[in-house]
């Protein structure tokens, strides 16, 4: 099992939308670096949901339930994966993440604009211990 983080803009797709839907196709990713991350995801992988733009916090946990797939419905080149909602977590803000020394190599700190990224296991353990 691996850990990942996906970002969403609450005005586009909120955590409440995800909770209501119970599962979703995570799509609309066009950055090649983020697409390459999606291609490594496997069913059972744990995925943290991060609200960008407003809250700037990790607020939920999801699980990958499909293999990554080419999104043929998107006229632009993109890949997608199906995620199911698992649980809300106590929000962990970007400021808290940046302040924690174990997160210094986490891409959310070093390359914050990336919309899908791997999460180092030590960071994932810290996040889940705050649930």
pLDDT tens digits along 16-71 = 999 999 999 999 888 999 999 999 999 999 999 999 988 899 999 999 999 999 99
Q: Cα–Cα distance between 7 and 81 in angstroms, integer?
A: 14
3-state helix/strand/coil string of the chain: CCEEEEEECCCCCCHHHHHHHCEEEEEEECCHHHHHHHCCCCCCCEEEEEECCCCCEEEEEEEECCCCEECCCCCCCCEEEEEEEEEEEEEEEHHHHHHCHHHCCCHHHHCCCCCEEECCHHHHHHHHHCC
Taken in order of first residue, the domains within the chain and their CATH numbers are 3-129 (3.10.590.10)
pTM here?
Answer: 0.95
Model confidence over 58-102: pLDDT tens digits? 999 999 999 999 999 999 989 999 999 999 999 999 999 999 999
78 CB-near residues (< 8 Å, 6+ apart): 27, 28, 29, 30, 35, 70, 71
């Amino acid at each position: 099992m691996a850990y990942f983080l996906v970002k969403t803009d609450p005005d586009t797709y909120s955590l409440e939308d995800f909770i209501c839907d119970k599962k979703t196709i995570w799509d609309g990713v066009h950055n090649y670096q983020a697409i390459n991350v999606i291609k490594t995801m496997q069913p059972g992988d744990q995925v943290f949901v991060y609200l960008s733009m407003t809250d700037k916090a990790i607020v939920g946990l999801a699980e990958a339930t499909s293999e990554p797939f080419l999104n043929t419905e998107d006229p632009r080149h993109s890949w997608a994966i199906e995620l199911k909602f698992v649980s809300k977590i106590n929000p962990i803000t970007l400021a808290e993440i940046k302040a924690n020394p174990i997160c210094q190599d986490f891409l959310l700190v070093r390359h914050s604009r990336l919309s899908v990224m791997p999460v180092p296991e030590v960071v994932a353990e810290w996040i889940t211990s705050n649930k």
